[in-house]
Amino acid sequence: MKVVRDDPPMPQEIAAGFYPAFEDGWRLTEWLGRAAMALFIAACVLGLLGPGLFSKRHAANPDRSITADYDAVVRFGAPTVIQLDTKVPDGKDLVAVTMARQLVDAFGLEAITPNPQSWQAGDDNVRITFPVVPGQKRVFIRLAGSPSFRGSQNLWVRLDAGESLAWSQFSVP
Amino acid sequence: MNTVIKAALAYLVVLFVIRLIGRRTASQQAPMDMVVLFLFGGLSVSAVLGEDHSFFGAMSALFTVGMMHVGVSWLKIRSQWLERVIDGTPIVVFRDGAFDERHMRRLRMQQADVRTAARQQGLDDMDDVAVAIVERDGKISIIKADPEA
């Protein structure tokens, strides 16, 4: 197979301005490509392809005993945070939160603030207990992780009294 | 496996982004063009390797990029269309004493760029330039006017 092509003589190419038809077509491709890049940037800024202006979501169960703030779209392997706000059981100085296995595994849980007092392993969940400042009605818990799932993932947390909250997050590459 | 796929994808994405943003950058003419190329390199490395700091991880990405380069070159010599897509074609920006404003604007070039190329050829008058051509690599070729003509 002949792979070295015979181009026209050079003076002929220069006189014709080389290949203007191809360059005109490429110009259109350039504009389309740049438009695609601009759209991609806009989607990133808006939060359609990861944390951005409008990616934050707030979820609460009916009696608002648990609420969660999270990014609806996260990026695979990139740090992200879920903020939980839970009710303290009346007269107790401990809050126990049971988390779905996916929240530890697929979410890639790396840090919990404040430090839990104890961990208990379940078959598809982990129960974590936090000491509470006496007299507090609600506590704030921060979960930091790096998602290791792709696509949609359902997550949930539950308090001992049975109140639970479920939400889903979507991970992009 | 993941690193190999990401390295191959990154090669193609960077190749086409460099083509899409225009050949000024490819020619590395000015500091602002070099900034883009340096940042492309750094961002691509973090996208391909991420937290993988292993020697084998880096080598798998390096070999993948090398083989992608060989593969694309192989395809390029077999398809004129692909060759033009990847490398572009030369563009005439100055002829018979006049700049081609349309092409200059497309290439985001100034007259100063062409004049610089002329001076580098030892010319101090644009009347001595027959044709100025922006080559596929972004460099400017100057063809001297025939003094006899």
pLDDT digits (tens, 9 = 90+) for A19-61: 989 989 999 999 999 999 999 999 999 999 999 999 999 999 8
Which residues in A lie closer than 8 A to residue B92 (C-beta atoms)?
A: 14, 17-18
pLDDT value, residue B139: 87
Q: Find the domain containing B132 and state its range.
A: 91-144
* Chain A, chain B: beta-carbon pairs less than 8 Å apart: 41
At B148, the pLDDT band (50, 70, 90 cuts) reads confident
**Residue of B89, B104, B106, B129 to mutate when probing chain A, most A C-beta within 10 A:** B89
Report residue A118 as tokens: 């104890």
**Smallest CA–CA distance from A4 into chain B, residue:** B77
Using a CB–CB cut-off of 8 Å, the residues of A that contact B are 1, 3-5, 13-14, 17-19, 22-23, 26-27, 29-30, 33-34, 37, 77
- Cα–Cα distance, B116 to B29 (Å, whole number): 11
- Cα–Cα distance, A67 to B101 (Å, whole number): 61
Which residues in A lie closer than 8 A to residue B89 (C-beta atoms)?
A: 18-19, 22-23
- B90 near A CB under 8 A: yes
Q: In sequence order, what are the beta bridge partners of B31? A: none
Question: Which of B51, B72, B87 is the endpoint of a domain?
Answer: B87
- Using DSSP bridges, classify how beta strands A164-172 and A151-159 pair: parallel, antiparallel or unpaired: antiparallel
CATH number at residue A65: 2.60.40.10
At B24, the pLDDT band (50, 70, 90 cuts) reads low
A67: left (phi over 0), alpha (psi -120 to 50) or beta: beta
- Same-domain pairing of A42 and A66: no
- Cα–Cα distance, A67 to A70 (Å, whole number): 10
- Cα–Cα distance, B51 to B47 (Å, whole number): 9
List of residues 6+ apart from B103 with CB closer than 8 A: B91, B92, B93, B134
Structurally, chain B folds into a number of domains equal to: 2
- Same-domain pairing of A26 and A84: no
Percent of chain B whose predicted confidence (pLDDT) is above 70? 95
At B1, the pLDDT band (50, 70, 90 cuts) reads low
- Same-domain pairing of A38 and A67: no
Residue pointed to by tokens 């290791």: A148
A19 contacts B92? CB cut-off 8 A:
no
pLDDT value, residue B26: 54
Least confident of A69-73, A154-158, B9-13, B106-110: B106-110
Least confident of A83-92, A109-118, B61-70: A83-92
Look at residue B149 and tell me if it is in a domain: no
At B27, the pLDDT band (50, 70, 90 cuts) reads low
Look at residue A5 and tell me if it is in a domain: no
pLDDT value, residue B33: 79
pLDDT at A161 over 90: no
CB neighbours of residue B42 within 10 Å: 10
Structurally, chain A folds into a number of domains equal to: 2
Mean pLDDT of chain B: 89
CB neighbours of residue A55 within 10 Å: 20
Burial string for A62-101 (b: 16+ CB within 10 Å, else e) reads eeebbbbebbbbbbbeeebebbbbbbbeeeeeebbbbbbb
At A128, the pLDDT band (50, 70, 90 cuts) reads very high
**Smallest CA–CA distance from A16 into chain B, residue:** B92
Look at residue A72 and tell me if it is in a domain: yes
Q: Find the domain containing A31 and state its range.
A: 10-46
Percent of chain B whose predicted confidence (pLDDT) is above 90? 59
Cα dihedral across residues A9, A14, A16, A20: positive or negative: positive
At B28, the pLDDT band (50, 70, 90 cuts) reads low
- Same-domain pairing of B113 and B47: no
- Same-domain pairing of A21 and A74: no
Of A1, A14, A30, Cβ closest to residue B92 = A14
Cα dihedral across residues B10, B12, B15, B16: positive or negative: negative
Average pLDDT rounded to a whole number, residues A136-146 = 93
- Same-domain pairing of A90 and A113: yes
- Same-domain pairing of B81 and B15: yes
At B100, the pLDDT band (50, 70, 90 cuts) reads very high
Which residues in B lie closer than 8 A to residue A12 (C-beta atoms)?
A: none
pLDDT value, residue A123: 87
Could you give the ipTM of this predicted complex?
0.77
Average pLDDT rounded to a whole number, residues B125-149 = 89
pLDDT at B136 over 80: yes
**Smallest CA–CA distance from A31 into chain B, residue:** B20
